[in-house]
Every structure is written in structure tokens, then in C-alpha cells.
Amino acid sequence: MERPAWAPRSIDITVPSVARIYDYYLGGSHNFEVDREAARKAMEFMPGLPRIMQSNRAFLRRAVRYAAGEGITQFLDIGSGIPTSGSVHEVARSVRPGARVMYVDNDPVAVAHSQAVLEGDEDADVLAADLRKPQDILKNLQVRGLIDLNRPVAVLLVAILHFVEDADDPYGAVTELRDALAPGSLLVVSHASYEGIPLPRERAEGAVDVYKDIRNPLIMRSREEIARFFEGYDMVEPGLVSTARWRPDTAPEDEDPYAFAGFAGVGRSA
């Protein structure tokens, strides 16, 4: 298999990655055949997966616009993935010029491509780190140089928490982040769930098994379990709702049924 010029030497291009599978669903070009194969296998069970990912991405952009409109000028995007058009720094600056964005991902391709995209941008940077170790992010000098934790920050955990197993204590990680933030900070979350998927659960489980097979288990949580991530936050209207129903730009009735899979919400710290 030929290694494209953009692929860091350190990565094994025979192993699928969730960041690159997501990139494929969004129509990106930073993925390998091994990623496309896993994506197509999952789509055999759940053909609407690309629509779910697009709905997630659209929610991210709406939430960033909302945060910037509320006066937030700093964004910490954890599990940021491979940059696509309409990335967080572009959306935030369309509302609030000069907004600062720190991208964080544990996928080497996502980090390398972000570095290329952000080259020469003094108000945006990328860090190779993992949500499961929040202190590695919060105490990092790169992060501290860009983000002032004494002022409100929007922390984006979009389509990432469902890749953190309960054994790795995702609730503890989110609490550590919350405790480090200034009052008035925002938490932006979207999360996969069996609720809202327009398929029998058995079919949806087939797609979930594909992620298990590539050693990136997809943890489907209930609305109640997802709501727990917002402990200590006041929910912004309309609360925790299906992804397409969070402050939509167009009438949700016009949406593909798959756009309603999973939940999304924004909380404000007191």
C-alpha cells in the first residue's frame, strides 16, 4: 500500500482509525482504503451513518456560532478530528474575529493535517493528547499559551465521548475539565445513542460491532446517561435534544431521519 505524502511516517496505514473513518463519511480525502472498508462495512448495517456524521458536524458549527455570539473568544476542541471546511476557527472568527482555538486529538493524521492547515495562524494550534488524560491537556504549555483558563472557554466534546469506555471514566474526565474552567464557560457535547436511530436496535448493533472489531468500541449511551455529563452546568435552551433539533437553521421536518440519531446539548458553568 502506497503511503500518501500527507501521512506521517509513524502511523500504521493498515489499521483503521475513527478520525479517518469520520473524514470519509464527511466526504474528505484524508483516509485510507482500510478506513473506507470499515466505514462501508458499518454502512451495510446502518446506511445513514454519513448523514449522522454530517448532522453532528452541522451541530458543531451551530454551537460554535452560538458560543461566539455569547461573547466566548476561546475554544478547546477535544477529539477535533481531521479539519474540514467550516472548521471551528473559521466559524468562530466569522462571528468573533481573533477567536483562539486549541484543537486536541490523539490521531496522528488528524494532528499532522491540522498542523498543515494552521501553519502561520498565531491564534490556533493543535495538540496530540487524549481526553482520557485531561491534565495532559490542561497543564500543557501550548494550551496555556493560547487559552486563558481564567476566562470563559467553550469546550467542545463533539462525537468523542462515545469512544470512551466506562472503564476509562469519561464522567471523571469531563468533571476535571469543568473544574478547571472559569464561570460562564460552555460545554458542547454530542453523543451516539440507540435512541433516535430509524432502525431496529439489532441492525444498529451490527454497525456498533464493526467499531468493536477495529478496537475502537462505540459506547451507545441513553439520554439519561448523556445528561450526566452536564452535571454542574445550566443547560442552554432547548436542553439535551436529538442532534438536528438543537437550534436548527432550517425546519427539522425537512431533515433526513438519520439526522435525529443521538443527542446534543450545550451547558453553561455557573
pLDDT in tens, 210-263: 999 998 899 999 999 999 999 999 999 999 999 999 999 988 877 899 999 999
Q: Grid coordinates in use for 56?
A: 453532528
- pLDDT of 86: 87
The answer, yes or no, to whether residue 99 has pLDDT greater than 70, is yes
Q: Mean of the pLDDT values across residues 131-154?
A: 98
| Integer Cα distance of 28 and 166 in angstroms | 30
H runs (alpha helix) in the chain: 18-25, 33-45, 49-69, 88-95, 108-118, 134-138, 141-146, 170-180, 201-213, 223-227
SS3 annotation, 191-259? ECCCCCCCCCHHHHHHHHHHHHHCCCCCCCCCHHHHHHHHCCEEECCCCCEEHHHCCCCCCHHHCCHHH
The answer, yes or no, to whether residue 77 has pLDDT greater than 70, is yes
The answer, yes or no, to whether residue 174 has pLDDT greater than 70, is yes
Q: How confident is the model at residue 130 (pLDDT cuts 50, 70, 90)?
A: very high
- pLDDT of 5: 75
Question: pLDDT tens across 5-41, in order?
Answer: 777 777 788 899 999 999 999 999 889 999 999 999 9
- Please give the C-alpha separations between residue 42 and each of 29, 78, 181, 211, 229, in angstroms, as whole numbers: 19, 24, 37, 8, 27
Q: How far is CA 11 from the centre of its chain?
A: 21
Radius of gyration of the chain (CA): 18
Give the number of other Cβ atoms within 10 Å of residue 100's Cβ.
22
The answer, yes or no, to whether residue 264 has pLDDT greater than 90, is yes
Q: Longest Cα pair distance anywhere in the chain, in angstroms? A: 52
pTM (2 d.p.): 0.95
- pLDDT of 1: 63
192 neighbors 261 (Cβ within 8 angstroms): yes
In CATH terms, the fold of domain 18-269 is: Rossmann fold (3.40.50)
- pLDDT of 36: 96
- Across the chain, what does the average pLDDT equal? 95
| Integer Cα distance of 31 and 113 in angstroms | 11
Percent of the chain with pLDDT over 90: 86
Q: Grid coordinates in use for 251?
A: 425546519
- pLDDT of 10: 77
What's the DSSP call for residue 2? P
Q: Which residue has the cell 438519520?
A: 258
Q: How confident is the model at residue 85 (pLDDT cuts 50, 70, 90)?
A: confident
Helix, strand or coil, per DSSP, at residue 156? strand
The answer, yes or no, to whether residue 59 has pLDDT greater than 90, is yes
65 neighbors 236 (Cβ within 8 angstroms): no
The full length of the chain comes to 270
Helix, strand or coil, per DSSP, at residue 75? strand
134 neighbors 177 (Cβ within 8 angstroms): yes
- pLDDT of 220: 97
More confident residue, 133 or 14: 133
Q: Mean of the pLDDT values across residues 56-62?
A: 97
Q: Mean of the pLDDT values across residues 101-120?
A: 93
- pLDDT of 252: 80
Q: Which residue has the cell 469543568?
A: 178
